[in-house]
Amino acid sequence: MKYRALFALPVIVSALGFFVDVYDLLIFSIVRVPSLQSLGYSEAEVSKIGTFIFNCQQAGLLVGGIVWGIWGDKRGRLSVLFGSIITYSLANIACGFVEDPNLYALLRFVAGVGLSGEIGAAMTLVTEIVPKEIRSLGPTLVAGIGYLGAGAAYLTQEWFTWRTAYMVGGGMGLLLLLLRISVFESGLFLQLKETKVSRGNYLYFFSSWPRLVKYFRCVLIGVPTWFVVGILGTFGNEFGKALGIDEGISPGKCVMFIYFGLTAGDFFSGPLSHWLQSRRKAILFLLFIGVIFVGIYLFGGVRSANMLYVVCFLTGVCTGYIGLYLMMVAELYGTNLRATATTSVPSVVRGMAIPMTLAFQGLKPSFGALGGAALLGVLCYGLALLAIYKTDETFGRNLDFVEE
């Protein structure tokens, strides 16, 4: 009977919401090349302008993650889900009409602001309503279903124009609002509203050295995910050339296969954590295996497009700990800061894609695409492994507590 909680309406709607979130988050990475080419830009300009627009989207994610996180703890998890989805849905529809790269960048920034609220609020809500005995399975189910949105985004741009792909994503978001009407608020948050405890204080994370270290450990654990998606996937065409692959590599297809891998990894990581009775051990295992597959991607002698896509999938599997990771972040913080932490942390992680892409572009002239990515990967995975090793275990933790 206890497993019925996994199929409660908030869990199902959160999974569908994350599906739309992933679709709209990745649609630019998938249509980056064809959309900018259709606007008349050369291959070199596509790389430069595409990086700028991508970074604007990631900056929006960073800003929105902080704003929506604070809002979620002050006004409730559901208010974030409604506000964020309206913002990114309308921005994505507008992207379907864009002609100017500067407007394109502005709209991706607005979309980023909206997209940053979905994942954290959904994971917070699900973590709080699923019984602790099976809590490992709730957020991983949401993430596993949600990541299929990447495949939907790729197939949509294959079947239709890139402009239509944006409109489909925005339309799905608006339809999702109808389902959200029936979702109920977290009981823990409703109890908290009756108290006078301070809620949504983002500065709390920086109010002492131990709190600052704890917060940034949470951020560092997630950084490899955007190294894999934002570097290995988004610039897959450049790695294909560096590897000497004669066939043209589609960055959109690289991203799609990585997210298929993330889906499989998230369905695997939750039960693994449940079996090990540990969040830390499950994430450590996946990070170690992920290092191996990143090495294979860059230096394993991949010589065909199909083999590169297979390696993208396997690398994605090893990176599929996002649901488990965000559940751990939610478990680390009290109810009065849980949404702030769980929404802002992944948004800061996504924002880290900005220095990563800039570092990658800066390293390429001296070390080449493969060498530059390898140096960046060593830094990302090294810091993540150190951070998860130092983070407290949260398996089975009672969530009915607040931060003083």
CATH code for the domain in which residue 299 is found: 1.20.1250.20
Closest CA to 319 of 208, 230, 386: 230
- Cα–Cα distance measured from residue 257 to residue 282, given in angstroms and rounded to the nearest whole number: 22
Angle of helix 149-159 relative to helix 251-276, nearest 10 degrees? 160
Task: Report, as an integer, the average pLDDT of 240-252.
Answer: 84
Task: Specify the pLDDT at position 380.
Answer: 93
Domain span holding position 362: 2-181+199-390
Residue 187, pLDDT > 60, answer no
Residue 82, pLDDT > 90, answer no
pTM: 0.75
Task: Specify the pLDDT at position 351.
Answer: 77
Residue 106, pLDDT > 50, answer yes
Q: Is residue 303 part of a domain?
A: yes
Tally the residues of the chain: 404
Give the list of residues 6+ apart from residue 203 with CB closer than 8 angstroms, or none: none
Closest CA to 357 of 28, 7, 40, 47: 47
Q: Is residue 119 part of a domain?
A: yes
- Cα–Cα distance measured from residue 324 to residue 268, given in angstroms and rounded to the nearest whole number: 10
- Cα–Cα distance measured from residue 19 to residue 310, given in angstroms and rounded to the nearest whole number: 22
Q: Contact, 200 vs 69, CB < 8 A?
A: yes
Q: Is residue 403 part of a domain?
A: no
Structure tokens that stand for 263 in this block: 């889906």
Q: Is residue 177 part of a domain?
A: yes
* Total domains, the chain: 1
Residue 232, pLDDT > 60, answer yes
Structure tokens that stand for 305 in this block: 């497009």
Which residue bears the tokens 């608006």? Answer: 174
- Cα–Cα distance measured from residue 316 to residue 297, given in angstroms and rounded to the nearest whole number: 11
- Cα–Cα distance measured from residue 241 to residue 276, given in angstroms and rounded to the nearest whole number: 41
Which residue bears the tokens 């925005």? Answer: 170
Q: Is residue 60 part of a domain?
A: yes
Residue 192, pLDDT > 70, answer no
Q: Contact, 165 vs 34, CB < 8 A?
A: no
Which is more confidently placed, 142 or 222?
222
Residue 197, pLDDT > 70, answer no
Q: What is the pLDDT of residues 301-328, one digit of tens each?
A: 888 889 999 999 999 999 888 878 888 8
- Cα–Cα distance measured from residue 381 to residue 328, given in angstroms and rounded to the nearest whole number: 18
Give the list of residues 6+ apart from residue 360 with CB closer than 8 angstroms, or none: 231, 235, 372, 373, 376
Task: Specify the pLDDT at position 387.
Answer: 93
Band of pLDDT at residue 220, cut at 50, 70 and 90: very high
- Cα–Cα distance measured from residue 241 to residue 379, given in angstroms and rounded to the nearest whole number: 24
Which is more confidently placed, 290 or 155?
290
Q: Is residue 398 part of a domain?
A: no
- Cα–Cα distance measured from residue 325 to residue 315, given in angstroms and rounded to the nearest whole number: 17
- Cα–Cα distance measured from residue 27 to residue 306, given in angstroms and rounded to the nearest whole number: 22
Which is more confidently placed, 164 or 404?
164
Q: What is the pLDDT of residues 21-64, one digit of tens each?
A: 788 877 887 788 788 888 877 777 787 888 888 888 888 888 88
Q: Is residue 93 part of a domain?
A: yes
Residue 111, pLDDT > 60, answer yes
Which is more confidently placed, 320 or 197?
320
Task: Report, as an integer, the average pLDDT of 119-135.
Answer: 70
Q: Is residue 189 part of a domain?
A: no
14 torsion bin: left (phi>0), alpha (psi -120 to 50), beta (else): alpha
Highest-confidence segment of 71-85, 254-268, 377-391: 377-391
Task: Report, as an integer, the average pLDDT of 261-276.
Answer: 84
Distances (CA, A) of 8 to 56, 72, 191: 36, 21, 20
Distances (CA, A) of 365 to 52, 314, 372: 18, 29, 9
Band of pLDDT at residue 401, cut at 50, 70 and 90: low
